[in-house]
Copies of this chain bind each other. A is one copy, B any other.
Amino acid sequence: MRLLSEDNIDDIAIGAAILGSGGGSDPYIGRLMAREAIRKYGPVALYRLEELDDEDLIVPAAGMGAPTVIVEKLPAGDDLVRAFYALGKYTGQMPCATMSIECGGMNSIRPIYLAARLGIPVVDCDGMGRAFPEIQMTVLTANGISASPFAMSDERGNVLLMDAVSNKWIEVFARSCVMHMGAVGAIALYAATVKQLKEAAIHGTITLAEEIGKTVRNARRKEMNPVDAVREAVGGYLAFRGKVSDVERRVSGGFAKGSAQMTGSGRFEGRALSLYFQNEHLVVRVDGKYVATTPDLIAVLDAETAVPITTEALRYGMRVAVIAFPCAPQWREPAALKLVCPRYFGYDVEYVPVEERFN
């Protein structure tokens, strides 16, 4: 166990946004919320799964919706508390701790905010090791853990509880309702015991995010190249450097969907990149050739500072570097891969691990 204070939050948010692969929402807002909560309620205990009792019940908490809308509607946080308590009440057992369901600038931080407010610990793990747009897209699903019971609340005070026959059905009903919540809701889901999570979750991702965030910060101080420092820290590949020449984006079906075009510079001079996203970056092509696809991670970084740029923040004229890096190995198992492979999202390409594409 270690305590997370205000000082840890910035590094975690930046690192988690890089792991978020363009999704999981902008790190700035989550950071503000969590810093304020820690200032008010004190530091948050971060536990490794190994430090908890096997029978302890853990309930992940997150925000759901279109990130383009989330940045316009600063959440008060009461919705998250309501969803978490509703789930506890429904299961008849109050959770011992919370955790992230995905890595992302906001969805790694929201559980820390919740933990500060409620005085409970956060567990150092998550369900994706990155961010994905749909509820059932977790390694927990692939390991037979149910997203039900699922609780959802909005800024108005509405509370929905769902007990569905599959995790995909939770996605269907919750997505339909979140659109009526103004495209933003707070959710609690995938209640699981420590024993289940030891086998199924992706371990240590809060600490990993913090280390990546620290790398970005230190590289800036030491006047290293921050993009290279991040690429090394995540064990990844430089897929592109250049300028954003076009961004097409729409909110559709409760998601922020779209694509971006970039023109190369430096050793990528004369080359063109296309990036496709649905809340998260899903596939990237250079000169028409796929260089990385889901579930491997694709991060768009500011070319100078390596600060991650989420899908909703991407703008014409930005100078960026695109790095691609391997997903958590659990995603490469067949049961997990079929949940998030390129074809699931409608891209006519097989998944090939990013290491093979670059070697």
> A171-179, A186-194, A277-285: which lies at the B interface?
A171-179
Q: Is the CB of B163 within 8 A of A173?
A: no
In the complex the two chains form, what is the Cα distance from A57 to B328 in whole Å? 52
A253 interface residue (CB < 8 Å to B): no
The residue in A158, A162, A172 that gathers the most chain B C-beta atoms within 10 A of its C-beta is A158
Contacts of A86 in B (CB 8 A): 163
Q: Quick check: is A157 within 8 A (CB to CB) of the other chain? A: yes
Say whether B173 contacts A162, CB under 8 Å: no
Question: A interface, how many residues as a size bin?
Answer: 10 to 19
Q: Are B159 and A163 in contact (CB under 8 A)?
A: yes
Within 8 A of B (CB), among A154-187: 156-165, 169, 172-173, 176-177, 179-180
Instruction: Report yes or no: B158 in contact with A160, Cβ–Cβ below 8 A.
Output: no
Give Cα A90–Cα B179 distance, bound, in whole angstroms: 25
Q: Which residues of B contact A173 (CB under 8 A)?
A: 158, 160, 177, 180
Question: Chain copies in the assembly?
Answer: 2
Q: How far is the CA of A164 from the CA of B158 in the complex (A)?
A: 4
Q: Which residue of B lies closest to A169 (CB)?
A: B158
Chain B residues with Cβ under 8 A from A179's Cβ? Answer: 176
Whether A159 lies near B162 (C-beta < 8 A) is: yes
Please indicate the chain B residues that have their CB under 8 angstroms from the CB of A157 in the complex. 165
List the B side residues contacting A159 at CB < 8 Å: 162-164
Complex CA gap A43/B156 in Å reads 45
CB distance from A181 to the nearest CB of B (A): 9
Contacts of A156 in B (CB 8 A): 165, 169
| A158 partner, pick from B163, B176, B180, beta carbons under 8 A | B163
A-B contact pairs, 12 of them (CB 8 A): A90-B90, A156-B169, A158-B163, A158-B169, A158-B173, A159-B162, A159-B163, A160-B161, A161-B163, A173-B180, A176-B179, A176-B180
